[in-house]
Structure 1
Amino acid sequence: MLVTTKAIVFSALKYGESDLIVKCFTEKSGLRTYLLRRILKSKKGKLKTSLFQPLTQLEIVANHKDKGTLESMREAKVVQPYHTLHTDVMKSSVVFFLAEMLRNSVKEEEANLPLFRYLENAFSWFDTHNQIANFHLLFLLNLTRHLGFYPDTDGLEMPYFNLLDGTFQPVETNRYCVHDENLDLLKKLLGTDFDALSAIKLNQTGRSKFLMLLLEYYELHLQGFKKPKSLAVLNEIFN
């Protein structure tokens, strides 16, 4: 079936001498993987390698067979040009990290419009703002809402947060209960939007500790989740 849809690039991997395998989250069909033949050698085709940088927002024309195999793509164009995401060193490091996080956590092969809207709006915000040191923390926390394990904010005043259950509670019941500065930051971020992030002051140590907590939270709730290999590069950049 021929489909015209918006799509956000998660990854593009070289396959053989001239092909690319591109993974995209599409507005109409969820997660799809495309085999783009001879794109690395052809200069005349409608598809250019530069279109498939991580998190690029596209409109594509694709043939979806819906058989769980690699799909084909006929056309692609950028619908939301970025001005800084792929040129600013700090932002591009965050982009690679978040793209890897999305590849490791988003598995839906069906439309999820709220998730798609969240991604396109978040990346557009990220592109146009400068105070972005804590962006990835709030992005990953809010992403859990679309993945099905956003923290239950009932009992927000309680002194522990249970990573295993995703709930606040009055006492410590297992080794996954958080009660230190990570708890304070979690409470600040819950309900915060990106525009209010600049009001949250955080040093590199606190930022790194909270990120590790988020990654543990993902590991507990997503089967087969793996920590991104790009984490080391991200930590190096922020240091």
Structure 2
Amino acid sequence: MLTKNNGIVLSKIKYKDYDLIVKCYTQQRGVVSYILRGVLKSKKGQTKTVYFQALSQLQIEESYRPNQSLHSIREVKPNYIYKSLHTNIYKSAIVLFLSEILSNVLKEEEKNTGLFDYMRTALQYLDNEEQYANFHLLFLLKLTRYLGFQPENINKDYPYFNLESGTFEALANGVYSVSGENLTLLKRLLGINFDSLNTIKINAKQRQEFLNMLLYYFELHLGGFKKPKSLQVLNDVFH
């Protein structure tokens, strides 16, 4: 069945000698994996692989067959052309990092237009923004809403945040309790949108420590979550 769908590229891997498997988060079906047969066999085919860079936004004419794990693409074209996301080394590091996380945590093969629209809008914001060193922090924090473990935004005056329960607390609760600079930054980020990110002024060490806390939060709430291999690259670029 030929249908049209919008998708955001999560990952791509070479399959056999000349095929490519591309995983996308799509507007109509959630996570979908496509196989592009023979695309690496000719120069003409290889030029098409530029469409499938990490987090590219595509308009796809697909041959979708229910109950199959791999589907085919009849035609593809950009839905939004990035100006800087794949050419700016700092933004590229963020893209690599976020695509690895999204590929890891997004599993559902069902429609979630709210999540799709969030990803699409946030990535377009990053593409156009000049101050973006903290973008990935807010992106991940807002992503928790769609994954089902968004921090409860009540009792924010309490001096601790419990990573296991996702709530603010009056008393410390062992290794899961967050306080100090990480707590202060968490409270600030919970109350802002992307267009206010430039009001957050932190150094590389603070950014790295908060990110490590966020990744631990993901690990506690998502079975099988692993720290991305690209984390070191991200930390090196923004050090």
2:39·2:46 contact (CA, 8 Å) conserved in 1? Answer: no
2:40·2:46 contact (CA, 8 Å) conserved in 1? Answer: no
Aligned partners of 1:47 and 1:67: how far apart in 2? Answer: 30
Equivalent residue number for residue 111 of structure 2: 111
Deviation (angstroms), 1:164: 0.2
Please, which runs of 5 or more residues in structure 2 have no aligned partner? Answer: none
Q: What amino acid sits opposite 1:205 in the alignment?
A: K
1:46·1:76 contact (CA, 8 Å) conserved in 2? Answer: no
Aligned partners of 2:165 and 2:145: how far apart in 1? Answer: 14
Deviation (angstroms), 1:66: 2.1
Equivalent residue number for residue 21 of structure 1: 21
Aligned partners of 2:112 and 2:194: how far apart in 1? Answer: 22
Deviation (angstroms), 1:111: 0.6
Q: What amino acid sits opposite 2:99 in the alignment?
A: A
1:47·1:75 contact (CA, 8 Å) conserved in 2? Answer: no
Relative distance call for 1:46 and 1:104 in structure 2 (3 A) is closer
Aligned partners of 2:73 and 2:42: how far apart in 1? Answer: 15
Name the count of aligned residue pairs: 239
- 1:193-208 equivalence runs, <5 A: 193-208=193-208
1:159·1:171 contact (CA, 8 Å) conserved in 2? Answer: yes
Deviations 1:17-37 (A, max 9, x none): 211110000000000111110
Deviation (angstroms), 1:226: 0.8
Deviations 1:129-165 (A, max 9, x none): 1100000000000000110000001111100000000
Please, which runs of 5 or more residues in structure 1 have no aligned partner? Answer: none
Q: What amino acid sits opposite 1:209 in the alignment?
A: E
Equivalent residue number for residue 183 of structure 2: 183
Equivalent residue number for residue 98 of structure 1: 98
1:63·1:72 contact (CA, 8 Å) conserved in 2? Answer: yes
Deviation (angstroms), 1:16: 1.8
Equivalent residue number for residue 75 of structure 2: 75
Query: Within the alignment, does 1:224 sit opposite 2:224 as a pair?
Result: yes
Deviation (angstroms), 1:64: 1.6
2:4·2:60 contact (CA, 8 Å) conserved in 1? Answer: yes
Equivalent residue number for residue 134 of structure 1: 134
Structure with greater proportional helix content: 2
2:9·2:24 contact (CA, 8 Å) conserved in 1? Answer: yes
More displaced 10-residue stretch of structure 1: 34-43 or 204-213: 34-43
Deviation (angstroms), 1:44: 5.0
More displaced 10-residue stretch of structure 1: 8-17 or 95-104: 8-17
Runs of 4+ in 1 over 4 A off after TM superposition: 43-47
Deviation (angstroms), 1:173: 2.1
Equivalent residue number for residue 50 of structure 1: 50
Give identity over the alignment, percent: 51
What TM-score, normalized to structure 1? Answer: 0.97
What TM-score, normalized to structure 2? Answer: 0.97
Deviation (angstroms), 1:191: 2.2
